[in-house]
Structures are given as C-alpha cells and as structure tokens.
Structure 1
C-alpha cells in the first residue's frame, strides 16, 4: 500500500491542486493524508479568526470524506503568519515520519504569491532533507529511505510550474468538485468576494450548480491543456491522452528520492 502525504499551507489547497490524484489513489486502496501548515483563519471577509478556524476544520473533514482521504491534520498556526522556522521544520519532519510517507506532494518553495504557500513549500523541502537522518530527532523514528516528492501548482506558480507528470482526473472529477464545495467558506464565499463574483455564487447545498460554479471559476486547476498533453501521453499513451478533459500536473521535486519513469508508474498505480 502506498502512503501519500499532501502538504499545503491552507485547508482547501490539497483539494483543488491534488484532490483528483488523492481520490484516485484512495479508490485504488492506498492511504492518503492531507496536512495544512496553517489553520486558514484569515481567509474570510466577514468571519473572525477563531470561529473561522473551527469552521474550516469542519469543512476539511467533509472534503476528506468526499475524496476518501483517511486523515486531515491542520497545524495550529495563524493564516498569514507562517514562517520557515526550525521549530516548524521539525513538526513537518515529524509528520512525514509518522505517516511513513512513500510519496510527498508539496507546494513550490519559490516564486510569487501567498507568503504562506512559499513558506510551506520551503518547510517541506527542508524537512525531507532529514527524513532518514537518525540524529535529527523529531519524535517518530527516521524513514528507511527518502520519499519521492512531487510539487503541485498553485494560483501563483502556474507560469513557471513544469508539468513533468499529469494525472487524468476525469473519473473522479465530481469527487474533487464536491471536496472543493465542502470548503464553502472559500469556494462560495471568500474567493468569490475577493474576485468580484460573489453575486454569482449558488446556494450552499445546490451541488449541481456548485459543481458548475467551481468548473467555471477554477478552470485553470481543472482542465487539461495543450501544455499537459505530452505528460498525459507519457502516462497513458496518445490515444487516451487525447480524450482527457481534466487533469492535475506535478513537477518532479529536486529533493527527496529521485525516481525514474518506471518507479513513478509503480508508485502511482493509477495510470492506464
């Protein structure tokens, strides 16, 4: 059984950037955990921090149920205040070791966008460096070998994200959309308010309208593009790749265990 840990900065990011891959792995019988390094308590235009943090934790578990994710941990760090400190590096290291992760999926460590996202990517990169080092103590015992690491895109990294690996998520698209809609505070309230289309948001509970709403306004993180076709072709063959409408892409991280195409296909038994 493959053990995958998806690490992001805020609840709702694992779902939109890697939720389809998580659902496919879960349906294939593998164990997937989500971890966010802040509690998301800044992400609303009306709610205060404490009730928002509680609400976002509840939303996270509903999203996990939609995807088949077996665990969802949220660090008690304020949204907007994440820094790549040694203390947090050790907490991330402990989480990677405790999960006995074979595969770690993280955010880009460099580039523009939300400082929390970049800090989260850096924390994972630095933590993985010590995953097997016995004299760097973090609680759980060290791993026997480094995990393979992939980097997912986010809203700010799209221009420089390299799609080394692409996953056809058409079979689990509704599960991914439903996981996003579980985060109603973000997909139906805060992000639409930020981006100026709150008046178009459907009522919570209207799943058909909600799925259409996410498909329309988050298309950049749902649709397969011409840039992803070469990676889809490598994974599925040209005939299948040409039929894919929705995909998630990942860049091979420069840290962690370096896997070739054969090992990646073995580690991700969801292709073809």
Structure 2
C-alpha cells in the first residue's frame, strides 16, 4: 500500500544534455504525471556533440533543447554544469561536492544515474562514478556542512547506456505505453543529437520537422534499444504488472538497484516508484 503523503523529489544524473531523456525519460515522465517533482542534472555542457556547430553555439543550443525537453516531459528543473566541457569529465573531489550539494538542495528521495563502471564514453563512466561517490555522503552532516544533509539515503537506481547493457541487471522495469509520447517528444526536443549528430554517416533520411509521424517512427527505429522491451526485462515487468500485462509490453525502460545500498522491501519500492496504472474495467 502506498503511504506517501508528499510528492517525491526525483533526480536523474547524466553526463550530457539529452541522456536523461534517452535512458530514463519514460520513468521521469511517469513520476511527473503522478505529481512528483523531477530534476535532470548533466555534468557537462555537451560542447563536443556535433559535426559542424562550433562549441559555444552548440552549448547554447543544447541548453535551449534541454529546457524544451523538460517542459514536454513535465520535468521541473534542468541543471547543466555549463563550465565543464564535453569530453573532459573526470571524478574530482570538486565535482563530487557539487553533486552532493545539488542532491541535498533538491532533497532527493530517488536518484538515477549511469553505471560507474563500463566501457563506452568516458564522460558517462565518470558521471556514474561521481554520482555513486556523492551518494555515499548525502546524509553525513560533517561533509559539506553548509548544506543540510538528507534525513535518509535516496533510492539509488542505475540506468544503462549503450556500453553497459551487457552488465545491467533488469531489476525494475516500467511499461512505457502510458508515457511513450512524452518520452518521444522529450527526445525530439534534442534535434542536435537525435536527428543531426546521430545521423552522421547514416544513409536513412531524417524526416523534416513538420512531419511528426515520420520523426516519431525514426526515433522508434533509430533509437530502438532505448524504447523497446526485451526478454531480459520480462521478469521485472511481470513482478510489477503481472504476467498477462507483461506479455503485452512493447516499449519499456529498466533500472538496476545500485549495489552496496541497503535492501528494499516490495512495499518500500512501491512507495518510491510511480504507481502502476489500474487497468480499465472491461
């Protein structure tokens, strides 16, 4: 039974603007639609992610795209560390303290971040390590005493990126169907990434901006792994929705409980996750 008497404070931490939308946009939208407060935090400004735009122009554009995506998803705050260049992220004490400060100020109940180990983009790996290190100290008042500590540790979930799918454990999965359009629109807001940078070297034409049906189909095809459910998610989907519903899920996101944290009962998790929609009477 859900015993919550106030909205949850949820934070998604990633390396670059567009990644919270890509890897956790559905979960974020589900929290927002349930009346909870969601913040996105990216630890770099995304200055490298384009084939033709210069860095200052790209940084400004990606910030505009981020705020457009937030509006579409119902995310109430989008913080970008705009003084940290794309490609230069390393796990420093300074950045750990900045993340502790941000998590505490948000009074986070739930934090979602990348896996701290893995191949792929070094910024993503560093963002995961910085988040994991910061979460060790959010309750300790003698670390960064100027900002009040959290009363309890946030639920810490890991989201996979393209390089960590082989080690990711599908422990919590959500059906994207109720929020699929919101996630698609959140990704669509990042045109510099989902249609321009990603299309470099791809022979498939990107539909024009006024062809939403075409762009929608393009996103679902070109970015298929971050929308479609997989057999590996089936157990987690069944635990959350029941076998009959799980068998019909086409689009899903999955998350892993961060290792080394305390265990959670099913009742505690239910209180910290968006509610499962009640099936319509038939």
Tell me if both proteins adopt one fold, taking TM over 0.5 as the criterion: yes
Distance in 2, matches of 1:64 and 1:257, equals: 31
TM-score, normalised with respect to structure 1: 0.97
**Which residue of structure 1 aligns with residue 179 of structure 2?**
172
Aligned structure 1 segments of 4 or more residues deviating by more than 4 angstroms:
none
Tell me which residue corresponds to 1:267.
272
Structure 2 Cα separation of the partners of residues 198 and 56 of structure 1? 24
Compared with structure 1, are the counterparts of its residues 257 and 51 closer, same or farther at alpha carbon in structure 2 (3 Å cutoff)? farther
| Correspondence 1:234 to 2:211 | no
Partner SS for 1:192: coil
- Aligned partner (choices 135, 147, 154) of residue 142 of structure 2: 135
Task: Work out which of the residue numbers 158, 162, 165 in structure 2 matches 1:158.
Answer: 165
Kindly indicate whether residue 19 of structure 2 is the aligned counterpart of residue 13 of structure 1.
yes
* 1:125 counterpart residue number: 132
User: RMSD value over aligned CA atoms?
Assistant: 1.2
Instruction: Name the structure 2 match of 1:39.
Output: 45
Please say if residues 84 and 120 of structure 1, whose CA atoms lie closer than 8 Å, have aligned partners that are also in contact. yes
Shift of the alpha carbon at 1:205? 3.6
Shift of 1:259: 2.0
Whole-angstrom CA distance in 2 between matches of 1:58 and 1:128: 29
Question: 2: CA distance between counterparts of 1:88 and 1:138?
Answer: 16
Aligned counterpart for 2:54 among listed residues 31, 48, 51? 48
User: Structure 1 residues 67 and 182 mapped into 2: Cα distance closer, same or farther (>3 Å)?
Assistant: same
State the alpha-carbon separation in 1 of the partners of residues 266 and 120 from structure 2: 31
State the shift of 1:256 in Å. Answer: 4.5
Number of residue pairs aligned between Structure 1 and Structure 2: 270
| Equivalent-residue separation in structure 1 for 2:255 and 2:142 (angstroms) | 31
1:145 counterpart SS class:
coil
1:88 to 95, 110, 119: 95
Query: Counterpart of 2:187 in 1: which secondary structure?
Result: helix
CA distance in 1, matches of 2:193, 2:63: 12
Asked whether the equivalents of residues 125 and 255 of structure 1 are also in contact (C-alpha less than 8 Å), the reply is: no
Give the match for residue 70 of structure 2. Answer: 64
Q: Distance in 2 between matches of 1:101 and 1:267?
A: 11
1:100 to 77, 86, 107: 107
- What is the distance in 2 between the residues matched to 1:265 and 1:204? 39
2:216 matched residue in structure 1? 211
Gaps of 5+ in 1: none
Deviation at 1:261, TM superposition (A): 2.0
CA distance change for structure 1 residues 80 and 239 in 2, over 3 Å: closer, same or farther? same
Report Cα offsets for 1:84-108 as digits up to 9, x if no partner: 0000000000010000000000001
Q: How far off its partner does 1:14 sit? A: 0.4
